[in-house]
Amino acid sequence: MKGKDILNEISSTSSGEFYTPIPEGYKAGKTKYVIITGSVMSGVGKGTISSSLCKCLQDRGLKVEPIKLEAYLNVDSGTLNPYRHGEVFVLDDGYETDLDLGTYERMLDKNLTRDHFVTSGRIYQTIIEKERAGKYLGRDVQFIPHVTGEIKSIVRNMAMKSKADIISIEIGGTVGDYENMFALEALRELQYEEGRENVCFVNITYIMEPKSLGEQKSKAAQLGIKRLIAMGIQPDIIVCRSQSKLKQNIREKISLNTNVPLDRVIGVHNVENIYSLPLTLRESGFDQRILEIFEMDKKFKANGNSGLKEWVKNTSVTSSKDPIVVGIAGKYTEGGDAYISILKALEHCSFALNHRVEVKWIESTKIEKDQIKVDEAIKGVDGIIVPGGFGSRGVEGKIKVAQYCRENNIPYLGLCLGFQIALIEFARNVLKLEDANSTEFEPKAKHPVVDLLPEQMDIEGLGGNMRLGGRNVEVKEGTIASRIFNKAKSVRRRFRHRFECNPDYIKQFEENGIVFSGKAPKQPIMQILEVPSLKFLMASQFHPELTSRPRHPDEMFLEFVKNCAKK
């Protein structure tokens, strides 16, 4: 039976064992689904490979929409510790997601929405709300069919809403995790209902290469894939991640032990530039094999690789000039993923300027505790970024960094908290308000130059209570901001904060050299500051790194890096 026949049968059955909400007008086969799972271990680049595949399909002219199904029980990523899960990536609609959504946005050069990121917690929340409202008609609510049914409903609604040719669904975690078993089961059911001709399973596995042995070993990969098969899921394609190029005998072992044809076992070894990965996947035949499974290869041909080659050319640095060194003064400096969008924004600037950028991590907590002097910590850098963050740890160290940059005319770029740090430092050392602070760090500050947003005064708790997502920023004419934004009167950027510049101190700041070149429309909420008398001191209450793209670097980052290059 074809998928459409199975779906019709399920929809018309009266047995009551199925729970498969079908959106009105939905037709099986109109949208195809690629399901991407991981085995052996996490952290092998599943999100990067998934987004690169989407790039390949997009290059062929297909409309592609990615979905990330995340296993954890948080409703969103907003309260996750960056050390445990990397940065929180904020979408334009204000939804807080994990860093993989940033990878998808940068690779596809498009804004995603809350529909593209679904956690277990959000699914359970939906189910409990429906159960309380009696939406399940008195049935006992179970993992099968209700939890799995809600997941299928999410992906089918995305198909209807987006009218995508292909939806790529990445399942977070690793095969064998308890947390994602119901997601795997839901997508097994999806293939059963839609038909194998409409759903393709891709498993990304890891080929170990122990230094003590000096050769690649595939047994862990074989066992991981067999665990997937034991759950009723036969992968159609296997991508083998490895440190060095995949050996032919390893491909053959994987093929033989997993029932996957040899030409569908694809090797992906480490690359220096992840933006070259779509071309690498194209040359390996990855997207071709998927379209063959869907019988779409005749309609959506590759038409050569000129587009992807141009993409690689424009996301590379060929210059041999000495690198620009940028210091990032933060408190999550031991885990680079905590600031990954900043690293990517700097990378985008390096592409535009054809000048490599290196990062020096500066642990602000050590400066705060006088374990290292500011001048020693900053030694050798051409500019400093103070990133966003929450909590008081390391703040005084960041203030010392901001002061040193201002007094020594070192380029300074402040992002969100970095904007507030610049205000506190300026208030203390230029306005001579010695007790200036943010009420986040000192609720009874004598001079609260940074205070709560008015609309946040009565909100308690942490989850989902901030100014979040894309908002318009009104740009002041005749300023540096106006120049770098090509005299645009307004730009749209993404926010994630509760505290702001206290309007009571705006006049004092302006009288002493700060120019507020960006503000909220019709409100005294300052969102960009600059000090024109210095080489470069600029900060934003928003997060410009979240909207920087490989071919379109953020304007503030680009201006900052240009000034860092003037050594």
Q: Are strands 324-330 and 237-242 parallel, antiparallel or unpaired?
A: unpaired
Q: Examine the residue annotation and report whether 545 is marked as an active-site residue of this protein.
A: yes
- Under 8 Å between Cβ of 392 and 331: no
Distance CA 537, CA 418 (A): 11
Report CA-CA distances (Å) from 69 to 46, 57, 385: 12, 20, 33
* Residue count (the chain): 567
Residue tagged 């998808």 (tokens):
104
Instruction: List the catalytic residue out of 348, 355, 447, 543.
Output: 543
| C-alpha of 98 from chain center | 5
Most distant CA atoms of the chain, gap in Å: 79
b/e burial code for range 274-288 (CB count within 10 A of at least 16 → b): bbbbbbbbbebebbb
Q: Examine the residue annotation and report whether 416 is marked as an active-site residue of this protein.
A: yes
Instruction: List the catalytic residue out of 194, 530, 545, 559.
Output: 545
Distance CA 238, CA 225 (A): 9
In 366-433, DSSP assigns E strands to 383-386, 412-415
Q: CB atoms < 10 A from the CB of 361, how many?
A: 14
Q: Which two tokens stand for residue 542?
A: 């928003």
Q: Are strands 383-386 and 412-415 parallel, antiparallel or unpaired?
A: parallel
**If residue 156 lies in a helix (H) or strand (E), which one and from where to where?**
helix 148-162
Distance CA 133, CA 70 (A): 26
Q: Which two tokens stand for residue 328?
A: 């990032």
Instruction: List the catalytic residue out of 54, 56, 405, 416.
Output: 416
- Under 8 Å between Cβ of 199 and 33: yes
Residue tagged 């620009």 (tokens):
324
Q: Examine the residue annotation and report whether 543 is marked as an active-site residue of this protein.
A: yes
**Residues that are catalytic:** 416, 543, 545
